[in-house]
Amino acid sequence: MESGRPDADHSREPKEMEPSGWGPTAWSHLSLLRCQSPLVQCITNFVSMDLVANTLLSAGASPAMIHSPHEIPDFTPNTSALCINVGTLSADWLPPMKMAANLISKSSKPWVLDPVAVGSSTFRLQACLELIKLKPTVIKGNGSEIIALSEASTGHAKGVDSAHESMDAVEAAKLLAQATGAIVAVSGAVDIITDGQRVVGVRNGVRMMQKITATGCAASALVAAFLAVDQSHALEATASAMSVFGVAGEMGMSMAKGPASLRMHLIDSLYGLDEGVVLGRTNISSLA
């Protein structure tokens, strides 16, 4: 793949796997990430910047929070992957988002769109639809976001609904993947990842992660980092990233007293994950 990184040891690259091979696959992705330390550009919201950067650093990637239109033409083509998060979207931020997405796509490198609260306003919805035209590798959101975006992409928008769980969005995710060519990831109690045909479920993580601002944003950036080391298996890389982040949350929860300490232990646990933990805790299975 084209990723702006040194030649990899292809003997270690993740392959198509049987269901029992998800643990080794997740570990292989994390190992590659730590070896290659890909540069991941994040155009993300103000609330999430700190956790996103620290998540990438603790996993082994190199974050860059570059969003100025004056820097993007020089900087973005030299990155390994891009993550765009529209959480605190404004009219000033949309053009550089589109500029970066266009440049990364022209470089044949992966990028992730996190369409935060996409159904909450016409401006936000139209912005995300414009970004989708620039061919994200992965679209990742919660159930309501994916349903809203899928309906809008197929001309059946019905408005805002924040009550959907990930399993409610399986068919919408498949339709969105088929319409856009992207891998679609739906976060929830069970994370759903689909390419429009295959569907896998990730059952890692803890409920208290929902009480920490920007964990979803951080997971999206980690997906971008995993794509940077294995763009050719985007569904597998996405599932691996979601599982590894969830495993770190499980490990952190064993030491946490509440959301604030879980945030700290989540980052520490991600940094310290070893092969035994990843192999033993990865919980990914095929749903279709």
Digit-coded pLDDT (tens) for 202-242:
999 999 999 999 999 999 999 999 999 999 999 999 999 99
| pLDDT confidence band for 4 (50 / 70 / 90) | very low
> Does residue 121 surpass a pLDDT of 60?
yes
Q: What is the DSSP letter of 213?
A: T
Distance between CA atoms of residues 76 and 102, nearest Å:
10
Q: Rounded mean pLDDT of the chain?
A: 90
From its phi and psi, is residue 26 left (phi > 0), alpha (psi between -120 and 50) or beta? alpha
Radius of gyration of the CA atoms of the chain, in A: 17
Q: Which pair of structure tokens corresponds to residue 230?
A: 């294995």
Distance between CA atoms of residues 217 and 18, nearest Å:
29
- Give the number of other CB atoms < 10 A from CB of residue 140: 31
Q: What percent of the chain has pLDDT over 90?
A: 85
User: Over the stretch 141-193, which tens digit does the pLDDT of each residue have?
Assistant: 999 999 999 998 765 544 434 456 677 889 999 999 999 999 999 999 999 99
Please check whether residue 186 is in contact with residue 173, taking contact to mean a CB–CB distance below 8 angstroms: yes
Q: Which pair of structure tokens corresponds to residue 284?
A: 């990914």
User: Over the stretch 244-280, which tens digit does the pLDDT of each residue have?
Assistant: 999 999 999 999 999 999 999 999 999 999 999 999 9
3-class DSSP assignment, residue 236: helix
* CATH number 3.40.1190.20 is the correct assignment for the domain at 18-286: yes
Domain ranges (residues) in the chain: 18-286
Please check whether residue 191 is in contact with residue 201, taking contact to mean a CB–CB distance below 8 angstroms: yes
Instruction: Supply the pTM of this predicted model.
Output: 0.90
3-class DSSP assignment, residue 237: helix
| pLDDT confidence band for 116 (50 / 70 / 90) | very high
pLDDT of residue 163: 59
